Structure 1
Amino acid sequence: MSIAGTNIKSVEWLYNNLNTKHLVILDASMPKATDKNTSDSTANYGIKGTRFFDIKTAFSDTTAAFPNTLPSAEKFTASAQQLGINNDSIIVVYDRLGIYSSARAWYLFKAMGHKNVVVLDGGLPAWEKAGYPIEKREDIAIKPGDFQANYAASYFYNATDVLSKLNDDSTLILDARTTDRFEGSVAEPREGLRSGHIPSSKSMPFASLLQEGYLLANNELEKIFTLKETHNKALVFTCGSGVTACVLALAATEVGLKNIKVYDGSWTEWGSRHELPIVSK
């Protein structure tokens, strides 16, 4: 079975395909930076056979200055192999908030050359709402996989790349943070960061692309992107630390937008580097 060419699958589809050969289910849950209660973000239960995709450590460069930084292809390969992922694996990734950090895992796999990966629409809440079974996740021995990353740098931008596009009319920067954070009317959840946004960027809160944890229908997504004047533009997505920017990337890919990048450091980097310009109330 190939799921290349699709990015979202329903819980009904997953339930009906649980016994599919080469299927790997990953829980990519992580707490929100804005959430004080993080106790349930990686709870030890989920869909049968789930393996935990640890964005914050195993699938990040933990030596970097900023959280959730893109890992090297070598580290991604090693971590994926430890999860038993093979080059022919059919990967379904979910999280416990609907669609949140699962989009980051999806985007990382795409950037690392694995196209047979989808996000579970609605995540674990949708699975439970449908009445499908959940079980305790057991720490069992997993046969190492043969996955080999083939990283494509075209998926990501760094701060220098973004800075070079601030006055480029052919590029549009879209910010996935909440409107009040974008405007700079509230303090950032991470200490030491300035408040505001990247000059010339527009606000597109990731939650505006979702309804009760499900991605909006394509016609609704198209309306939202059209209102931001995305036609014939190169799109750069940013957020707090490179996680919810991937929700924008997921939605954009669903409606056929091609020229997209995620700014990996996002506001955690931009807001901390005082030589970089910002706009704030």
Structure 2
Amino acid sequence: MSLQVPSPLISEAWLFQHLDNPSLLILDATIPKVGAKKSDVIKKKFQIKNALFFDLNDFSDADAPFPNTMVSPEKFQEKARKFGIQKEQCIVVYDDLGIYSSPRVWWMFQLMGFTNIAVLDGGFPAWKAQNYPIEKPREKKLSEGNFTSNYQSQKISFVDDILENLNSNESLILDARSEGRFYGTEPEPRKEVKSGRIPKSVSLPHTTILTGTKMKSKQELQTVFQSKNPSYKPMIFSCGSGITASVLALSAEIAEIKNHSVYDGSWTEWGILPNLPIEIYHEK
């Protein structure tokens, strides 16, 4: 039996303990933070030993009008096999910012029915702080994989689902963007996107569920979600383009909350498409 992750979030000590396990696959999912200037993006010098770079752009729909749009299950399977991913593997994903883009990859695999995957708590900063093995990035080629998609449609929401929810109010929409973007007091990083929020949505900036670069404890996360969602409604997570909404999805899973999905188009889609209702507040 291959190595199994003990939870959706694993420590640097756990990863170090299993670093040389033959069934372990480490994925570096680092992307620049949204709105970062090109001059602020530093070329990667080091990565965790044995890691492979997982390009989120390559696993997103290049023909879609909005960034980070999920590809079809068939296309994901094709790309995963070409990458070399085996269905028997144990995957750990991390990023250089701590917990930012790595949960998106975790969620993508969850969406495709693959559950033996975890996010490294604290990411590369936590790993480096322990002086665990690092190396310079290098090209590594894997043989053809046998990954199989098993699409879990309940884990993803689309614009029609959001519109339907405006009438039914069955689910709670939690927005992972900053409060400034949620309330319309600061501009969107993408100039073509309007300011505001989805009606009836609630602000939960992804940074509030973190302590530094690490995720808050299970108990703390349960308290956060209970305060935002006292009626225990199903939750739909939104953000700018699906990245930090996936951070909320990961935190909900850690809090043992299962009934949730990610709005794939998120605010970039909602703020661009015409004739969609928008709420905007200049004061909280």
TM-score band, normalised by the shorter chain? over 0.9
Q: Deviations over 1:120-172 (max 9, x none)?
A: 00000100111112101211332121111121211111111111101334310
Matched, 1:23 2:37: no
Q: Distance in 2 between matches of 1:85 and 1:230?
A: 40
1:84 corresponds in structure 2 to 84
Matched, 1:183 2:179: no
Q: Distance in 2 between matches of 1:230 and 1:34?
A: 33
Shift of residue 79, structure 1, vs aligned partner: 2.0
Q: Distance in 2 between matches of 1:101 and 1:234?
A: 24
Q: TM-score, normalised by structure 2?
A: 0.94
Q: Deviations over 1:193-216 (max 9, x none)?
A: 110100000000000000111000
Amino acid at match of 2:52: R
1:39 to 41, 54, 63: 41
Structure 1 consecutive aligned stretches of length 4 or more whose deviation exceeds 6 Å: none
Q: Structure 1 171/127 Cα, relative in aligned 2: closer, same or farther at 3 Å?
A: same
1:119 corresponds in structure 2 to 119
8 Å contact kept, 1:49–1:137: no
8 Å contact kept, 1:51–1:83: no
Matched, 1:96 2:90: no
8 Å contact kept, 1:94–1:124: yes
Shift of residue 184, structure 1, vs aligned partner: 0.6
Unaligned runs of at least 5 residues, structure 1: none
Matched, 1:70 2:79: no
1:11 corresponds in structure 2 to 12
Shift of residue 262, structure 1, vs aligned partner: 0.3
Superposition map of 1:183-262 within 5 A: 183-262=183-262
Report how many aligned residue pairs link the two structures.
Answer: 279
Amino acid at match of 1:276: L
8 Å contact kept, 2:5–2:90: no
Shift of residue 44, structure 1, vs aligned partner: 5.2
Shift of residue 38, structure 1, vs aligned partner: 4.9
8 Å contact kept, 2:52–2:140: no
Q: Distance in 2 between matches of 1:93 and 1:38?
A: 23
Q: Deviations over 1:12-33 (max 9, x none)?
A: 1101101113100000111111
Q: Distance in 2 between matches of 1:98 and 1:139?
A: 23
8 Å contact kept, 1:3–1:118: no
Unaligned runs of at least 5 residues, structure 2: none
Q: TM-score, normalised by structure 1?
A: 0.95
